[in-house]
Amino acid sequence: MTVTFSTVGIIGAGAMGRGIAQIAAQAGSTVLLMDNAPGAAERAREAVAAQWERLHEKGRLDAAQRDACVARLKVAEAIEGLRECDLVVEAVVENLEVKRSLFRSLEAIVPANAVLATNTSSLSVTAIAAGLQHPARFAGFHFFNPVPLMKVVEVVAGFKTDAEVCKRLSAFAAQMGHSAVSTQDTPGFIVNHAGRGYGTEALRIVGEGVTDFVTIDRILKDQCGFRLGPFELLDLTALDVSHPVMESIYRQYYEEPRFRPSVITAQRLAAGALGRKTGEGFYRYTDGTQAVPTEPAAPQMDVLPPVWISPRAARRAELIKLVHTLGAQVESGAAPTESALIIVAPLGFDVTTVAAVERLDATRTIGIDMLIDDAATKRRVLATNPATRVDMRQAAHALFARDGKAVSVIRDSGGFVTQRVVGTIVNIAADMCQQQVCTPADLETAVRLGLGYPQGPLAMGDLYGPTNMLEVLFNLQTVYGDPRYRPSPWLRRRGALGLSLLHEEERA
């Protein structure tokens, strides 16, 4: 197979540049690695060669493949050494003027048919290309760190990019073993745009005093299957990277409420509590090992009050069966007796509002999150309201922990943790489809590979129900009066029709 680009220049010998150089050489291209810092390109070449040696030792490259890759990776001492390249990828500092100046210089050196690409993660591809004589050959080619392991690359079309350029970059990505996703030149492209819902909504929940960082991480991992909780993820990526991205996307979208950053990360950034690399973030780290507080034990109660379950509870039949299985008496009357523990299971609404609307005794009312099938989760989440009695809180906790499943008890808020975070993720993704930032299929691929979510956001909406997502969002908007929960028109249409969010476009 003939490689799409025979000679590839990489400018910038940091982690990203090294990673791109490695997979390009492995694909069969001759790679010229260049960096302005004296000796940086040679050190990077040696580091990549050492990586190939490790792959050989593990049996993933034979000796001939290793030697061929090493022979294809060369150092260019100056930008003029890239004049024979048919593709040049820039991976330098995220500064608009630095990148513009670099590409203006390159344009005078490389052949007229050479493709120029930027690995920018946050700057406008169109803005970088604005000073070029031939912006049609310029595109974004955004990889993720570590490049060899993160198997997705965003191919970004600027305003004047030739479609053929994007096709060639996508083909080259496939030859390098990566999945290419196509995106318009919008703030955050696909991955950083779609990823706004996870951390930002979790930060809002903490900021409202609903619960703590550790509990949110536990809930989202155990209920939804996320590999890392949002605060573990922020510690991993580091706040000196994550917080500026939050601010950048918020500003570039003219202060769209859905993307509003949090003062919590701003303060921690100022304090230098960046995450794993500083030994302190939302968690503390000793020799790279995360310290996690012990989870409080559930209260033990031999005698439990009878349980009355609201007729309006989500998954009511399932909830009744669960309470029976856990050994509690379920009341069947139209109203609870005076000794009953009252259970509600709202979607989007807070427990306080439900108790008031249904004329329930708030002192005995507890909420449970039933958005997800209980059998599919590793954790149950209960919510008190400001009037809930301690004995009723303990009774509910003891009851729902009887079979050994973990239980978290949080303070009252609209939408519990999972409902708010998942609803926000799905809503932002739906809005990206409405804006035609990318296709639904590319959105799903980018998020699964770039963010490591258990499902793509649209598949997540399908799994938990488009109509449930709409109910959560409409009710959150009522509770908070905040436009950040306004359902996307794209989601409203599909929720109303009950069609698959992902495959509806294929039926058109």
pLDDT given for residue 493 in this prediction: 86
Among residues 362, 385, 412, which one ends one of the domains? 412
CATH number where 364 lies: 3.40.50.720
pTM of the model: 0.94
CA torsion sign, 176 to 182 to 184 to 188?
negative
Quote the distance between the C-alpha of residue 156 and its chain's center: 19
Q: Would you name the residues annotated as active-site residues?
A: 121, 142, 154, 192
Give DSSP secondary structure letters for 84-117.
T-SEEEE---S-HHHHHHHHHHHHTTS-TT-EEE
CA distance 132 to 114: 13
151 and 38 fall within a common domain = yes
State which residues form the domain around 369: 307-412
Q: Indicate if 160 and 20 belong to the same structural domain.
A: yes
Chosen domain end from 412, 439, 462: 412
Per-residue confidence in pLDDT tens, the chain, 508 aa = 799 999 999 999 999 999 999 999 999 999 999 999 999 999 999 999 999 999 999 999 999 999 999 999 999 999 999 999 999 999 999 899 999 999 999 999 999 999 999 999 989 999 999 989 999 999 999 999 999 999 999 999 999 999 999 999 999 999 999 999 999 999 999 999 999 999 999 999 999 999 999 999 999 999 999 999 999 999 999 999 899 989 999 999 999 999 999 999 999 999 999 999 999 999 999 998 999 999 989 999 989 999 999 999 999 999 999 999 999 999 999 999 999 999 999 999 999 999 999 999 999 999 999 999 999 999 999 999 999 999 999 999 999 999 999 999 999 999 999 999 999 999 999 999 999 999 999 999 999 999 999 999 999 999 999 999 999 999 999 999 999 999 999 998 887 665 555 555 545 4
**H helix runs in 368-502, sequence order:** 390-400, 416-434, 440-451, 457-464, 466-480, 489-497
Q: Is residue 465 part of a domain?
A: no
321 and 285 in a common domain: no
Angle between the 213-224 and 230-237 helix axes, to the nearest 10 degrees? 110
CA distance 189 to 56: 36
Q: Is 496 within the bounds of a domain?
A: no
Residue type, 258: R
Same domain, 139 and 11: yes
Q: How many domains does the chain have?
A: 3
Q: Is 491 inside a domain boundary?
A: no
The answer to the question of residue 435 being in a domain is: no
Structure tokens at 55: 């792959």
Q: Are residues 176 and 205 in the same domain?
A: no
Residue 446 sits at the vertex; the CA angle it makes with 477 and 220, to the nearest 5 degrees, is 50
Residue 459 domain-assigned (yes or no): no
Judgement on whether residues 341 and 280 belong to the same structural domain of the protein = no
One domain for residues 140 and 37? yes
Q: Are residues 229 and 328 in the same domain?
A: no
Instruction: State how far the Cα of 61 lies from the Cα of 54, in Å rounded to an integer.
Output: 9
Q: For 335, which DSSP code?
A: S
Residues 6+ apart with CB under 8 A from 190: 154, 181, 183, 432, 437, 438, 442, 443, 446, 447, 450
Residue in 346, 371, 347 with CA at minimum distance from that of residue 485: 347
The DSSP line for 285-334 is EETTEEE-PPPPPPP--SS---EEE-TT-TTHHHHHHHHHHTTPPEE-SS
E-strand ranges in 2-86 read 7-11, 30-34, 73-75
Cβ(354)–Cβ(360) below 8 Å: yes
Question: Tell me, what CATH number does 204's domain have?
Answer: 1.10.1040.50
* Residues 347 and 286 occupy one common structural domain: no
CA distance 508 to 503: 9
226 and 128: one domain? no
**19 & 117 share domain:** yes
What is the pairing mode between strands 284-286 and 289-291?
antiparallel
- Asked whether residue 508 is domain-assigned, the answer is no
Do residue 179 and residue 134 come from a single domain? yes
Q: Look at residue 35 and tell me if it is in a domain.
A: yes
50, part of any domain: yes
Look at residues 362, 377, 412 and tell me which one is the last residue of a structural domain: 412
Q: Which residues of 232-249 are buried (b: 16+ CB within 10 A; e: fewer)?
A: bbbbebbbeebbebbbbb
